[in-house]
Structure 1
Amino acid sequence: MAKVGKAINESNRSLSRYLEEIGKFEPLHPDREVELAQRIKKNDRRALKELVTANL
């Protein structure tokens, strides 16, 4: 039973860290998403990275 409690605590810490990290990024405005999608179609790697990062 102690192993289960430890696993839950570790999971909660991981989730808290993840939420803290993604909280550093502003959500994309829909117009910006469209712009990035158009740039991605033209093989713009920076646009792809921005879109992926924003959707974490």
Structure 2
Amino acid sequence: MLAHNHPSGHPTPTREDEAMTLELRHLSSDLHVPLTAYVIVTLSGRYAAVHE
């Protein structure tokens, strides 16, 4: 599971978030450690994605 906050208060993933997540999914796969969920937490809400 990968989690981080957005100080801006907007929980929507940025392009940078999506690129970083894709790279980390590839790296974690190479290490045989699956990245199964991704969460962004803010004061105004949250965003979560589950990867199979």
TM range (shorter): 0.3 to 0.5
- The structure with the greater share of residues assigned to strand is 2
TM-score normalised by L of structure 1: 0.37
Kindly name which structure, 1 or 2, has the bigger radius of gyration based on alpha carbons: 1
Higher relative contact order (CA 8 A, sep 6+): 2
- The structure with the greater share of residues assigned to helix is 1
TM-score normalised by L of structure 2: 0.40
